A and B are shown apart, each in its own frame.
Chain A
Amino acid sequence: MYRYDKYDQAMVDARVEEFRDQTRRRIEGQLNDDQFKPLRLKNGLYLQLHAYMLRVAIPYGTFNSEQMRKLAHIARKYDRGYGHFTTRQNIQYNWIKLEEAPDILAELATVEMHAIQTSGESIRNISADQYAGAAADEICDPRPWAELLRQATTFHPEFSYLPRKFKIAVISSKEDRAALRWHDCALRIVRNEAGEEGFEVYAGGGMGRTPFIAHQIREFLPAQQIFSYLQAILRVWNLHARRDNIHKQRMKILVHELGEEEFRRQVEEEFQTFLALGTDFPQAEYDRIAEYFTPPPFETGLPEEIDRSDPAFALWVDQQVVAHKAPGYAIANISLKPIRGIAGDISAEQMDVVADLAERYSFDDVRATHAQNLVLPHVRKADLYAVWQALDAAGLADANLDLITDIIACPGLDYCSLANARSIPIAQKIAERFQDMDRQRDIGELKIKISGCINACGHHHAGQIGILGVDRKGTENYQLLLGGSGAEDTSQAKITGPGFDEAGIVDAVERTVERYREIREPGERFLDTYRRVGLDAFKEAIYG
């Protein structure tokens, strides 16, 4: 993985001192709350319902055991002994004291971590495929480009006071594990006929109250020109976005209003300006970064067989383990979705267990996923049983990846000051209802995503089953949506009809699932059946 040199380290160290100074000026009254807010947000610090929340960046979802142990330490010392992995591969802490935030940032800087641009109207932490460097289907590791763009977009002087947030994702496979086209700027690494590396560029995606799937604006952009092209996109948006209504300032709105063609034309024109400036990073810098992502020293001649004599282990392997590109190795997914747990939450003790396992069995490499789970990307198949035993002892061995209980849920009204309804208890009730493993496996892939308000942090637009919590005359009400996808077959879920109360939404999900089981054809996932028969075929079952 990437390691800081003296320049990167000096940058995060200076950032800590800057934030300490800004906090001092706030406390002394030189900055009012309105002026301080964007500064703390650019350092990941939100004010929630009960306390400050700190969101720590995990660039492209990759981190190591030392960093994980530091995250555990922060959970113990500054929070309540746990952390929460988010839908953008970051981790956040829910019970932070403002006056301690500079100290936490200083602790993070000692392990090459930060909270820079994890919030506010900035270019956010860049997300990527959680299987990068391990996936059998990738054409190259997307992370060197993500790291190059991390540096290029850190403290960018022209684009630090953007109209709204700006999210970038990078993948390099056909299969999309990163909800690519739900980002403001989505990059897929491809090769052209001459075998050269480049990007398919998509722009204008996003969830929130006005969801859009990103449009392809470039079929092939030579890889070395990506920073010019990105700056062109940002400049068009920065100059022309509305500034009078915060709900209409995301880039997706501008792309929609200008139309794909006109937006592309303006970007291409601005692109020529940036190309002429020569601000792109040279090949030598890409090569320097890529060096850090050379594959670990995989052993050869390892056994492929896995001893499946322990049925609980065999079940975990079937559900959580994915093919690796190196023979004898496997990708092991760690579920953070235990029944009765909170999606994405992990205790400090569990973090230490995962850190130990990464160090011992996975070349010191851990990944966070947008579905709020973790990954050990490089495990010898022969070690899977030992890994599973350790996970099981720590309460981390649930075998529900992509099943109905692997629910994405935002923090909702339990924590968030924007929320209209709780998300966590709904996810828990659905998971309890469907906890029987045979039933879950019979239902198969079914991605439920729950948001506690229209800002859609729980990705309900991309849920095969989406749930949106709203406030209806002072009581929580839940709308049901069907047919969304955050995968390569990206689609936006459609609302089924009137909403439900807390008990009613769980029943409605069950009726939806049972209808699917009645009408599915062999081999069809829920989403396939939905696409074949349409919404109406489910409405009758849902509303009777």
Chain B
Amino acid sequence: MADTFRYRDDAPHEEPAITLDSFIEQPGGASAVRVEAGDDVRQLIPYLDQLQLIEIAFPRFRDGRGFSSARILREAGYKGELRAEGDVLIDLLFFMRRCGFDSFASQHVLNPVDVEAALNRYSNVYQDATDDAVPIWKLRHG
């Protein structure tokens, strides 16, 4: 793991994440889960209150399933850390933040200046997502 960026105020969660299958077999114990790209995150919805870290794998940066998984978890009310792990590239970060990810564990070294530039490039957005950005249509109509 080469590079980690975190956008939360609480202390990093130290407990190692277990697989979604193991968690579902024995829900109640763990507070950190790792989700693979093809996993159905809706299985976690009954347990969101007890989870403090959900790590979603991006095995290849082109595999965008994790964007939907993240948004589903946030829409279901998950408040804990949501981490994108794996082939996480700078030009994915803005979309990941909008889908609810608040930490990144990239297998690559990411230049922090480029990371900040990528996250702040667009001052507005066209549509609602799970962040608090106000869509342009709302700005237009006050």
**A160-B95, A277-B75 as given contacts; A17 in contact with B68, CB under 8 Å:** no
Most A C-beta atoms less than 10 A away, residue of B75, B128, B137: B137
Q: In the complex, what residues of B have CB within 8 A of residue A121's CB? A: 62, 64
Q: In the complex, what residues of A have CB within 8 A of residue B114's CB? A: 21, 25, 30
Q: In the complex, what residues of A have CB within 8 A of residue B140's CB? A: 5, 7, 285, 288
Q: For the complex formed, measure the closest distance between the CB of B105 and the CB atoms of chain A, giving whole angstroms.
A: 18
- Asked if A235 lies at the interface with its beta carbon under 8 angstroms from chain B, I say yes
A30→B91 CA distance, assembly (Å) = 12
13 A-B pairs (CB sep. < 8 Å): A25-B114, A39-B91, A152-B127, A158-B68, A161-B62, A161-B64, A238-B64, A238-B67, A239-B40, A243-B37, A273-B75, A279-B127, A288-B140
Q: In the complex, what residues of B have CB within 8 A of residue A227's CB? A: 127
- Asked if B123 lies at the interface with its beta carbon under 8 angstroms from chain A, I say yes
A11→B125 CA distance, assembly (Å) = 8
Q: Can you name 9 extra interface pairs (CB under 8 A) apart from A18-B118, A21-B114, A151-B137? A: A11-B136, A151-B136, A155-B122, A156-B127, A157-B95, A160-B67, A243-B65, A279-B128, A285-B137
B121 touches A7 (CB 8 A): no
B99 touches A161 (CB 8 A): no
* B64: nearest chain-A partner, CB-CB: A161
Q: In the complex, what residues of B have CB within 8 A of residue A162's CB? A: 64
B75 touches A157 (CB 8 A): no
Interface residues on B, range: 35 or more
B122 touches A161 (CB 8 A): no
- Asked if A2 lies at the interface with its beta carbon under 8 angstroms from chain B, I say no
- Asked if B7 lies at the interface with its beta carbon under 8 angstroms from chain A, I say no
Q: In the complex, what residues of A have CB within 8 A of residue B91's CB? A: 22, 39
The B77-104 residues at the A interface (CB cut-off 8 A) are 89-92, 94-96, 98-99
Q: In the complex, what residues of A have CB within 8 A of residue B125's CB? A: 155, 157
A162→B94 CA distance, assembly (Å) = 16
Q: In the complex, what residues of A have CB within 8 A of residue B137's CB? A: 151, 281-282, 285
Q: In the complex, what residues of A have CB within 8 A of residue B90's CB? A: 25
A288→B138 CA distance, assembly (Å) = 12
B64 touches A160 (CB 8 A): yes
Which secondary structure dominates where chain A touches chain B? helix
The A147-186 residues at the B interface (CB cut-off 8 A) are 151-152, 154-163
Q: In the complex, what residues of B have CB within 8 A of residue A151's CB? A: 126-127, 136-137
A401→B125 CA distance, assembly (Å) = 41
A161 touches B92 (CB 8 A): yes
A161→B117 CA distance, assembly (Å) = 20
* B99: nearest chain-A partner, CB-CB: A157
- Asked if A245 lies at the interface with its beta carbon under 8 angstroms from chain B, I say no
- Asked if B139 lies at the interface with its beta carbon under 8 angstroms from chain A, I say yes
A281→B138 CA distance, assembly (Å) = 9
- Asked if A309 lies at the interface with its beta carbon under 8 angstroms from chain B, I say no
A243 touches B67 (CB 8 A): no
B65 touches A282 (CB 8 A): no
A17 touches B127 (CB 8 A): no
B61 touches A17 (CB 8 A): no
- Asked if B116 lies at the interface with its beta carbon under 8 angstroms from chain A, I say no
Q: For the complex formed, measure the closest distance between the CB of A408 and the CB atoms of chain B, giving whole angstroms.
A: 30
Q: In the complex, what residues of B have CB within 8 A of residue A18's CB? A: 118, 121
* Complex partner residue of A277 from B37, B67, B111, B128, CB under 8 angstroms: B128
- Asked if B63 lies at the interface with its beta carbon under 8 angstroms from chain A, I say yes
Q: For the complex formed, measure the closest distance between the CB of B52 and the CB atoms of chain A, giving whole angstroms.
A: 24
Q: For the complex formed, measure the closest distance between the CB of A157 and the CB atoms of chain B, giving whole angstroms.
A: 4
- Asked if B19 lies at the interface with its beta carbon under 8 angstroms from chain A, I say no
A30→B108 CA distance, assembly (Å) = 10
A157→B94 CA distance, assembly (Å) = 8
Q: In the complex, what residues of B have CB within 8 A of residue A160's CB? A: 64, 67, 95
A243-275 toward B: CB 8 Å interface, digit per residue (1/0)? 100000000000000000000000000000100
* A30: nearest chain-B partner, CB-CB: B111
A308-319 toward B: CB 8 Å interface, digit per residue (1/0)? 000000000000
**A10-B124, A11-B124, A238-B68 as given contacts; A158 in contact with B63, CB under 8 Å:** no
A17 touches B121 (CB 8 A): yes
A518→B135 CA distance, assembly (Å) = 61
A4-21 toward B: CB 8 Å interface, digit per residue (1/0)? 010110110010011001
